[in-house]
Amino acid sequence: MSTVRVYDLPTRVFHWSFAGLFAAAYAIANLVDDESARFAWHMLAGLLLGLAVLLRLAWGVVGTRHARWSDLSLDPRQLAAYLKGVVAGGGRRWAGHNPASSWAALVMVAMALGMVASGLAMATGIAPEWVEEVHEVVANTFLVVALLHIAGLVLHALRHCDALPASMLTGRKFGVSTEAAVPARGLVALLMLGLLVAGGATLVRAYDPATQALDLFGTRLVLGEDGGEAHGVHAEGEAHDDDGDEGHDDE
Ligand code: HEM
Ligand code: HEM
């Protein structure tokens, strides 16, 4: 039996952009001093991750069969049967996301949106202090889910002797019905990649390392040391609170 393409190119472009940008945002947040000018790259990676998610949300509505949100298998009984199959062997083959991957995908996309929302709230100075706590806890939970996702793929591959992990690279799965086949949608993938590159370039262009400020849609986000502002993060412009008693505070 030959392999069948189940993941189109836009889904794969999203996957590796998402994984790469998450890793970059997480690594920078933990390895770079939050008062260093380089910490701004954390925010830029996080915002680009937000753009990737928005594009994927749209593709989940109009994309090919296994890219659609409606194709996720979220029935808890199917999840239980799938996990039983991984432990004991057997169980059905999934052309699209298996139930464990479906839940992992949903949770990770939701957490990414939460990270961007809480990050933006902090960077515009409107967030109360606890938001920073939530941002950090969600980041670490996100990491755990991503690691579980990778461990699950390895376990699946070992247990079922198939190359499931490679399907997000090649787009192809072995042993699924040819009816599950989807077109590559190369032009959409190119457009998605182009939008991500343009989004990244726009962010980098809007960011001024000298002032550590990012001018974004009329709001000036400043990430860096600033006279005792909360962790050096504040915003000017629309969201600015300039009564000298800004939204959040040092530890
Ligand atoms: C070696 C690393 C990785 C491999 C080989 C891999 C592979 C895969 C595969 C094969 C699927 C589809 C699973 C299925 O058909 O049931 C998938 C889905 C997914 N993975 Fe990964 N993954 C990796 C790392 C990551 C990381 C680090 C993240 C997040 C930070 C991530 C996020 C996702 C998401 C969000 C989906 C759903 C994709 C979509 O529907 O657009 N993956 N991954
Ligand atoms: C998935 C994306 C993201 C991840 C994984 C992530 C992760 C983290 C982590 C782990 C911290 C704690 C760092 C520390 O102080 O030790 C942090 C802090 C922070 N993040 Fe994010 N973040 C993400 C997206 C964003 C975005 C989009 C923004 C802004 C638009 C943002 C703004 C901030 C700010 C302002 C802080 C506080 C830094 C400080 O302590 O001064 N983050 N983030």
CATH of 3-208, one of 3.40.640.10, 3.40.50.450, 1.20.950.20, 1.20.120.1200: 1.20.950.20
Domain limits of the chain? 3-208
Identify which of 33, 23, 14, 12 has the alpha carbon closest to the alpha carbon of residue 142: 23
Overall average pLDDT of the 96-102 stretch: 97
Overall average pLDDT of the 77-83 stretch: 96
Q: For the chain, give the percent of residues with pLDDT over 90.
A: 71
| Confidence (pTM) | 0.90
- What was the pLDDT predicted at 224? 57
Q: Residue 217: phi, psi to the nearest 5?
A: 45, 50
Atom of ligand 1 nearest to the CA of 142: 30
CA separation for the pair 163, 167 (Å, rounded): 7
The CA-CA-CA angle for residues 211, 17, 43, to 5°, reads 20
- What was the pLDDT predicted at 141? 98
Q: Which long-range contacts (CB under 8 A, 24 or more apart) does 37-40 make?
A: 37/209, 37/212, 37/224, 39/223, 39/224, 40/207, 40/209, 40/212, 40/214, 40/223, 40/224
Residue nearest to atom 38 of ligand 2 (CA): 34
Distance in Å from the first CA to the final CA of the chain: 59
The pLDDT confidence band at residue 133, using thresholds 50, 70 and 90, is: very high
Ligand 1 environment, Cβ below 6 A: 11, 14-15, 18-19, 22, 56, 94, 97-98, 101, 105, 108-109, 146, 149-150, 153, 164-165, 167-168
